[in-house]
Amino acid sequence: MTPNRHNSSAQPNPSDNDVVLDAVRDCVLAVGVRRTTMTDVARRAGLSRMTLYRRWPDVRSLVGDLMTREWIAVATGSMPERRPELGTRPPLIDGLVAGVEAFRAHPLFQKIVDVDPELLLPYVLDRRGASQEALLELLAGALREGHADGSVREAPAARQARTVLLILQSFALSLRTMTDEDDPELTTAAFLAELRTVLERTLTP
């Protein structure tokens, strides 16, 4: 859920990127997106503002790249080790449910929801961002593997991936509006179990 990346003639190498994005993360976690400035980021990264402006036009584009890095790391880090004897579907569903749980617990996501929730609205209501496109690519690839080994219901992979991502987004973004931790039937864990059931029924042949 990030803006599609800007084009730049001065692309940084990955290590430079990480230094800057780490600095953005620290700023956002400290004061939120709206109060983060390019000057703050440059100071934390040990770079000049001019260097940043040659690579990113504004704080929003920096935060977009940060979210893409963080969300993809959550998604890939949540996937269990593949076990061919199980087929694609069981570990895929395990990873998707774990990914929603990890995403909701991520400090950057929590800070944005608490302080700058409007940052997420365009990617829920209007358009896809770079992280969504990357997640769709990962999902479509996994679903095609499941089609090939017979563990995932056959359907156009692009449409199926978008459907799954819509389900995951609703749980990731809105779950706290539906839970009641004092009611054992409405706890976060109960809803994550329900998510697993929804995914199983959606993807099982």
Give residue for tokens 């949540």.
Answer: 78
Inter-helix orientation angle 188-203/89-105, to 10°: 150
CATH class of residue range 67-203 = mainly alpha
* Residue 7, pLDDT above cutoff 50: no
First to last CA, the chain: 30
CA distance 157 to 144: 6
| Residue 12: per-residue pLDDT | 47
- In the chain, list all ranges with CATH 1.10.10.60: 14-62
| Residue 61: per-residue pLDDT | 94
The model carries a pTM of 0.86
Q: Tell me whether residue 148 is exposed, middle or buried, using C-beta atoms within 10 angstroms of its C-beta: 0 to 12, 13 to 18, 19 or more.
A: exposed
pLDDT tens across 132-187, in order? 999 999 999 999 999 999 999 999 999 999 999 999 999 999 999 999 999 999 99
- In the chain, list all ranges with CATH 1.10.357: 67-203
By the 8 A CB rule, do 124 and 173 touch?
A: yes
pLDDT bucket at 9, cuts 50 / 70 / 90: very low
**What is the signed CA dihedral for 56, 129, 119, 95, rounded to 10 degrees?**
-120
- Report the CATH architecture of 14-62: Orthogonal Bundle (1.10)
